[in-house]
Amino acid sequence: MSMGTIAFLMSKVEKKISEFTNGTLDNLVTSENINYGDEFIKPKASDNLAAWLWFAGMSGLYGLIASAMTTYWAPGATGSGVAELIGYLNGINYPGWLEIKTLVTKIIGVTFAVCARLAVGKEGPLAHIGAIMGALVLYIPGLGFEFLRNDTDKRIFIAAGASVGVSCAFGAPMGGSLFAYEMSKTTTFWKFDMIWKTFAACALGNFVFSLWNYFTSDDPTPSFNTSTLKFGIQTVEVNQYPAGILILGAIWFGIICGLLGPLFLMINQSCNTIRAKILDAPWKKVLETTFFAFMSASILFWTPFFFKLGKCHLNNSKTEEEEYYSGWCPKESTYSPGSTLFWSGEGEIIRIILNSHFVLTRDQMILFGCVWYFLMCVTYGTMVPSGLFLPGMIVGCVLGDLFARETATLFDGPFADFNSKDLTDSKNSFEALDLYNGMKMDFVTLACAGMLASYTRMTYSLVVIMMETTQSLYLFVPLLITIFLSNVVAE
């Protein structure tokens, strides 16, 4: 119950901060001389300095808060905490890893780190938060848990708490249970009764999160669905296409993601080696994080401006629940897909790419993927609570979208005149676009799994997590192929 509540509050606070920052940004952007349907005509860069300074400055402030708390108050909260969790479950104690101040810093710090536009996620930190909550519950007065305050039983509760954290992050109670089991490696303390008890805890955590989400929703008919936390509900019906394409995609993503994952680790390790040599004082670590937040926000702000990402779209082409930004398009009647993609939070980016109403050209998707992969490589290791699940999944979303575009051109029938470079082309029929969106959902799922497997080396727990969070049980075999190949190639 506690983890479901904490995950819900973190999600809501992150959303409110992002809406405040991005809403003000959208109002500050100058959008003169823009016509619907045309590539937007850039105003002068000098006219948008106030908007840039607001976006980058607020991101820097959020990064400063997260880093200062981590550096000066609770250094045990830095990173995701998953590596320490693996060590702890195998008998290695980490001082400061289970303290209350670490818990507070982890919750507040990772929320501000994500809002600071740093290329980090909160899924790993949620596992750490769950582990701390699992230990703290044994020390709540009046519950009579004194007999459980030993290393053996405490380890069981910590493993269960970490599982609930992952379950709340992905809406995957079975996958969350298997996550802690797989992370334990030797699994010497796992018994059958612990597995079903852990699953029950994950299911309850998911239920509480969904309950909070249900009763606080502004939607008059809210959906009681836990998977809305990440991928959202698939609104496009998956049409039939040759099963061999799925297998081909599974093999391709296993290979390409198996290469991109280790490349990320190599670049990131080099960056962290430089950090260890240069950042020899606490204030330098805080300054570096603030700089990276400012730099990341600046890149995300100016890229749509200088590369003119996308045509202006009428507001009637989006639903009321979707939060899109006008950018350099007319404020009242249109929105900018490019600005929306680059300015949105990480969870929203995934939902946007999967949305059938949202379109960018192939070259624009490639640009976004390259920018995000670069930020992911150089950012992880800054002194903030941070995870790596969502950044890798965003790269996977881009890979899946690009593969779906290119695959569509291989078919005749509805795809005879399909323009994969520009989905807004009038030659693209509704039937072709519908089939493309179904293919995109499948390929994005496979690509996300391949990216995560390539640098986390997760296997069976990742298969279950991806099937639960996307509700795509029919992808079981393709997911096995992708994750197996990604692990082999990465090794």
- For residue 158, count other CB atoms closer than 10 A to its CB: 23
- The mean pLDDT value of the chain amounts to 83
pLDDT in tens, 325-347: 777 777 666 777 788 889 888 88
Residue/partner pairs of 207-210 with CB below 8 Å, 24 or more apart? 207/4, 208/1, 208/3, 208/4, 208/5, 208/8, 209/4, 209/5, 209/7, 209/8, 209/168, 209/171, 210/4
pLDDT of 165 above 60: yes
Structure tokens at 154: 């405490």
pLDDT band of residue 244 (cuts 50, 70, 90) is confident
Question: Residues, the chain, total?
Answer: 491
Give the pLDDT confidence score for residue 336 in this predicted structure.
78
Please state, in angstroms and rounded to a whole number, the distance separating the CA atoms of residues 415 and 423.
Answer: 12
422-459 burial: b if 16+ Cβ within 10 Å, else e: bbbeeebeeebbbbbbbbbbbbbbbbbbbbbbbbbebe
Domain boundaries, the chain: 2-490
pLDDT in tens, 396-411: 999 998 998 888 777 6
pLDDT of 4 above 60: yes
Amino acid at 339: S
Over residues 378-407, the mean pLDDT reads 91
pLDDT in tens, 211-228: 888 888 766 555 555 544
Between 242 and 453, residue with greater pLDDT: 453
Rounded (10°) angle between helices 173-183 and 460-470: 160
Give the pLDDT confidence score for residue 270 in this predicted structure.
95
Between 487 and 240, residue with greater pLDDT: 487
Which residue reads 């670590």 in tokens? 285
pLDDT of 235 above 50: no
pLDDT in tens, 167-199: 988 888 898 888 888 887 766 677 777 888 889
Give the pLDDT confidence score for residue 227 in this predicted structure.
43
Structure tokens at 120: 């980090």
Between 118 and 362, residue with greater pLDDT: 118
Structure tokens at 434: 């519908």
Between 294 and 306, residue with greater pLDDT: 294
CATH number, span 2-490:
1.10.3080.10
**CA distances (Å), 290 to each of 8, 65, 297, in order?**
27, 9, 11
pLDDT in tens, 440-466: 888 999 999 999 999 999 999 999 999
Q: What is the pTM of this model?
A: 0.89
Please state, in angstroms and rounded to a whole number, the distance separating the CA atoms of residues 474 and 115.
Answer: 35
**CA distances (Å), 250 to each of 256, 286, 408, 437, in order?**
10, 41, 16, 17
pLDDT in tens, 250-271: 999 999 999 999 999 999 999 9
pLDDT of 164 above 60: yes
- For residue 16, count other CB atoms closer than 10 A to its CB: 11
**CA distances (Å), 91 to each of 98, 152, 189, 193, 194, in order?**
14, 10, 11, 21, 18
Which residues on neighbouring strands pair with residue 39, listed in sequence order? 311
